[in-house]
Amino acid sequence: MTNATTVAEPAIGTDEGAGRKPQQRGDTRGRLLAAAQDLFVSKGFHATRPQDISKAAGVGHGTFYLHFKDKQACFLAFAEAAAEALDAYVESHAGEELTPYEAIRESIRLTYDFSRAHPGLLAAALTDMSVIDGGEGGSILMGRWGIMWGEMLADWQAEGKVAPHVDAGFIGYAIPGIIRQAGEYAAGKETTEQEPLDALMAFLAAGLGLTKNEET
């Protein structure tokens, strides 16, 4: 996939209040998160140590624990910041008064644009929690986005814009996975940016009962 748009750096590791001195608590946490982002993306969760993050942020190792309980807490803060950066990008670039078909297409296109502009960022943020803590598994962000998609589908369904047979909650959870896997597949293929998006939208539109230019 080619022709990625230029996307501003994610708002990860930044703090409001530009007039504050760098040594203040919020700025230090911001530097730690910015360093964590670089390391989680380039090295992965397990290969990144708290002392590596502290060193990259230019602070003492003990300072890390003034801001994060442990590496997992730091990772969760990084993942949340990455999600917020993506959400902000999609919101700021998506059009208004879109049909469900147009809204879904724009959301997917902008997600792919963001991902191409920040290689590895979303992949790192979507790390399965079972890899981190040995728990039940699953990506926190995938669950968050699944709820969001489910709520949107339910709202459209209530307005008669999504087919009544669609299980909005179930399909809502499935859509983020479809988007992720389709993007990974397309990234390894010699294809234009348009082709995989068209194929994905044809599938989703048929399943959801959407039309391309008109509301159902």
pLDDT computed for residue 26 by the predictor: 55
pLDDT computed for residue 130 by the predictor: 61
What's the Cα-to-Cα distance from 27 to each of 8, 17, 19, 20, 129, rounded to whole Å? 20, 9, 11, 8, 28
What's the Cα-to-Cα distance from 115 to each of 9, 12, 77, 82, 209, rounded to whole Å? 11, 15, 19, 11, 28
pLDDT computed for residue 148 by the predictor: 95
pLDDT computed for residue 19 by the predictor: 37
Do the beta carbons of residue 50 and residue 61 sit within 8 Å?
Answer: yes
pLDDT computed for residue 141 by the predictor: 85
CA distance 155 to 161: 9
Question: Following DSSP, what letter does each residue of 71-111 receive, concatenated?
Answer: HHHHHHHHHHHHHHHHHHHHHHHS-SS--HHHHHHHHHHHH
pLDDT computed for residue 193 by the predictor: 77
What's the Cα-to-Cα distance from 13 to each of 84, 99, 122, rounded to whole Å? 12, 35, 16
Q: Which of the residues in the chain have pLDDT under 50?
A: 1-11, 13-24, 137, 215-216
